[in-house]
Amino acid sequence: MNGLPDFATEFPTIADFLDWWLRNPVLPAEQQKAFDAYYAGYRGRFGRYIRHHYSGQSAEITALIRAKGAPRLLEIGGGCGTEALWFTLQGARVLAIDVNDERLEVARARKEIIERGIGRPLDIEFRFCSLFDLKGPGTFDLIWMEQAFHHVEPRDKIYSTIARLLAPEGHVVISEANGWNPLLQLQLFRRRGFKTIVDRTTPDGQRILYGNERVTIPSVMARGFEEAGIAQDAVRYFRVLPNIGAAEALMPVERVIPQFAAPFFSHYNYVGHKPAADKAPR
């Protein structure tokens, strides 16, 4: 016995999956330090409210994985690998990309631990590259971005690149900070001022454009995708409160806030699909 859980069966939700990693420091020292820094906001504060929304933000993509059966999935901004690894355990064949190799090393170390726990290899690759480095049309059935859209630049290339990479009848799901929320916008302005696009240098010395918390609203995102040939399926707003103790007590109040009250919500999920070739607009 290796003392590890069967990751494929023992965690009902992605929140349960992440909670195990938060409570069990099993990574090599360097990767554990990077993981702890990445999830510093959740340490000691991963209660019912945050767990509810953390699981909920991936509800649409998880349902699509299970419906499609072994889909090819691209995650843009894979970070430390939580979502990508979870999606693989749900049956997807995953490529997760990022321009932060330190975080990808954490993801790779977690992959090895999971493989020991389940006794088989995972169909997943963690690759250091940009979205715009990927080649080949129609490669993916699903594309997922979680709190990454507002970092990728140049933005006007995102829509056409995703449309090119997505297979006919494929879906894109994006979970993002809500540009309609005035408190969120004020917080971001205090942090970075008006400078929403900056130059960054990657660990290997590459200079890239980087979105400096350049959040947007769903209608702008939907219009960009529509112009690239991707039709909107749904937009769902969620989460009102920050990660504070009172949030759990106020959950019943949050649940009755209607979707049309968009400025109250701090996040939204956009879901779109690429029509089949014979149904694409001419």
Burial label, 209 (beta-carbon count in 10 A; 0-12, 13-18, 19+): middle
**69 DSSP assignment:** S
Nearest-angstrom CA–CA distance, 239 and 175:
12
Pairing of strands 197-201, 207-211: antiparallel
Each of the 282 residues of the chain gets a pLDDT tens digit; together they read 478 999 999 999 999 999 999 999 999 999 999 999 999 999 889 999 999 999 999 999 999 999 999 999 999 999 999 999 999 999 999 999 999 999 999 999 999 999 999 999 999 999 999 999 999 899 999 999 999 999 999 999 999 999 999 999 999 999 999 999 999 999 999 999 999 999 988 767 778 899 999 999 999 999 999 999 999 999 999 999 998 889 999 999 999 999 999 999 999 999 999 999 766 555
Nearest-angstrom CA–CA distance, 231 and 218:
13
Q: Where would I find the H helices in the chain?
A: 14-23, 29-38, 48-56, 59-68, 82-89, 101-118, 155-165, 182-192, 218-227, 251-255
Nearest-angstrom CA–CA distance, 275 and 230:
7
For residue 119, give every residue at least 6 positions away whose Cβ sits within 8 Å of its Cβ, in sequence order, or none: none
Domains of the chain with CATH codes? 14-279 (3.40.50.150)
